Structure 1
């Protein structure tokens, strides 16, 4: 999925300076962004106050939207470098195409994992015909230095491990949770899991003390560590935790995101993650010239043009703010 802001803000994040050494409870607001032609999303990461959670550096939450009479998601071919995209659906279907030749329909509870590496282009669409509802999240994972120029590729995993407790079911999309490991390829220690809480449930999820964590409410209004969260709210939890207590007065769904704090500083602009301004400028130029990223075949429409770069070099702005 693309960052379709016409004036994307360059962001430098990473490093451990702003990672708290113990637990915190920071509720972070998102902002509404138009994605493609017709889909509004809530962008919850990066946001004011927090730019990364482990290697997770970008989170959009969209829906639930009734797209019965609408085209749904229509994101034209666009480029990525230096990251992985994680597609996660609760309702609906998304048709993924990319420049490696992958064509895959992603459905609820399935992992669509694209590794951009040195360069890839892809598109995402609601197929025609499509289900009435569209609801999900799109996330990016920053690749560490030793892997950020790896070959591009796409993985689809329909059979994912599940962690259960009375009133709780957690599907592990990325990384490992309570001994259950996702088959998705990860390049740094992290976890991403959808947690479903039944009405009246109270449970505790085991955590890694060395990880930092956040939770995003997808539906309902669960409590996480005693904090009640409305849909679209991101609660940053810091580090130094052994467990996370969850409670649901009604049925609820949330995403648990975590990972070892990302040591490296990265520059993120538009759909690119690099290490300096020069890399961003070069990647943009090569996309505009039609080289490096390959072709996305089968998409009926034009590819996405790159926005204008801001004046001057892309400068560090810090991991947290």
Structure 2
């Protein structure tokens, strides 16, 4: 297996005037998608007393699923399906916004340290206008020979399978590696994989990945070996899926296939149409859409690897 491609993070403000800063590794110029995973935000550990925590007012989504996964803290989720749920460490909250959905995300008053990831999955064209949906799942921790524990929140790995519905084959899992651990995982050879390092340093495909880096490995291998060569534990998020094969147009919180898709979605949100519904119970105004760029929004695609 060839060396991993290393994708570094950039700092991005999330939300409105009280924006918290997140580390974004996907999308970027070097890579738009890993499987259908199209967005990776990594945040914390943040002392909420100093940063103010997460306060994201109601905002819209189209053409995607949102995946919320926490390491510490708690986030209150409200959406236009009427869902009111808490995002807690080790528990998956997945929201589907095909034709349109809206939601708010606010860290709770009891949260002292906020730390986690926010991920998006692009819906394939045949499903991108599907109905709104919300799913909650608590995966069990599964030990892996070599010194790791795995929680599989989407797809299958290490004998564990998530029941949560996705629209393309996907893998999403948290892996904790003990000091000096080395584990070899059986994976789907048709999948490309991405490994986000949350804590510590991990070697994948002969490449050392440091905190907040996302390592990418192309399809072709039936195993994936992860090694922690340090005396401290490491925590990672492993993502995977077959190459998506469709060009997507991403702008703000929308995923479409054309500039016109984005224009229409933005206008629907600004007009407060029924397309996105209403988030009940949030004590404030919803987020307005930013102005569109003075240019046609063009499709994003992955580079061809030689």
Answering whether residue 134 of structure 2 is matched by residue 147 of structure 1, we say no
Question: Is the Cα contact below 8 Å between 2:83 and 2:134 reproduced in 1?
Answer: yes
Give the SS at the match of 1:228: strand
- What CA deviation, in whole Å up to 9, does each residue of 1:247-288 have, x standing for no partner? 112200011111011122111111111111111100000000
Question: Is the Cα contact below 8 Å between 1:160 and 1:183 reproduced in 2?
Answer: no
Partner of 1:95: 76
> Distance in 2 between the 1:134 and 1:303 partners?
23
Gaps of 5+ in 2: none
Partner of 2:299: 316
How many Å apart are 1:82 and its aligned residue? Answer: 0.5
- What CA deviation, in whole Å up to 9, does each residue of 1:198-238 have, x standing for no partner? 11111111111111111110111122223222111011111
Give the TM-score normalised by the residue count of structure 1: 0.89
CA RMSD of aligned residues (A): 1.5
How many Å apart are 1:69 and its aligned residue? Answer: 4.9
Partner of 1:195: 175
Match of 2:278 among 278, 295, 298: 295
Match of 1:264 among 246, 252, 256: 246
Gaps of 5+ in 1: 1-21
Question: Is the Cα contact below 8 Å between 2:35 and 2:241 reproduced in 1?
Answer: yes
> Distance in 2 between the 1:215 and 1:137 partners?
13
Question: Is the Cα contact below 8 Å between 1:90 and 1:135 reproduced in 2?
Answer: yes
> Distance in 2 between the 1:46 and 1:200 partners?
31
Give the SS at the match of 1:265: coil
Give the SS at the match of 1:278: helix
Question: Is the Cα contact below 8 Å between 2:248 and 2:301 reproduced in 1?
Answer: no
How many Å apart are 1:101 and its aligned residue? Answer: 0.3
Partner of 2:58: 77
Question: Is the Cα contact below 8 Å between 1:110 and 1:157 reproduced in 2?
Answer: yes
Match of 1:286 among 268, 284, 300: 268
Give the SS at the match of 1:282: helix
Point out the more displaced range, 52-61 or 35-44: 35-44
How many Å apart are 1:165 and its aligned residue? Answer: 2.3
Query: What is the number of residues matched between the two proteins?
Result: 299
Question: Is the Cα contact below 8 Å between 2:32 and 2:300 reproduced in 1?
Answer: no
The equivalences for 1:112-131 within 5 A come to 112-128=93-109, 130-131=110-111
Larger RCO: 1 or 2 (CA < 8 Å, sep 6+)? 1
Partner of 2:233: 251
> Distance in 2 between the 1:167 and 1:178 partners?
13
Partner of 2:220: 240
How many Å apart are 1:167 and its aligned residue? Answer: 1.1
- What CA deviation, in whole Å up to 9, does each residue of 1:56-91 have, x standing for no partner? 000000011111355310011000011000001001
- What CA deviation, in whole Å up to 9, does each residue of 1:143-182 have, x standing for no partner? 1122111110111112446352231011111111134211
Answering whether residue 186 of structure 2 is matched by residue 216 of structure 1, we say no
> Distance in 1 between the 2:303 and 2:286 partners?
33
Match of 1:35 among 4, 8, 14: 14
Match of 2:289 among 286, 303, 306: 306
Give the SS at the match of 2:260: helix
Partner of 1:7: none
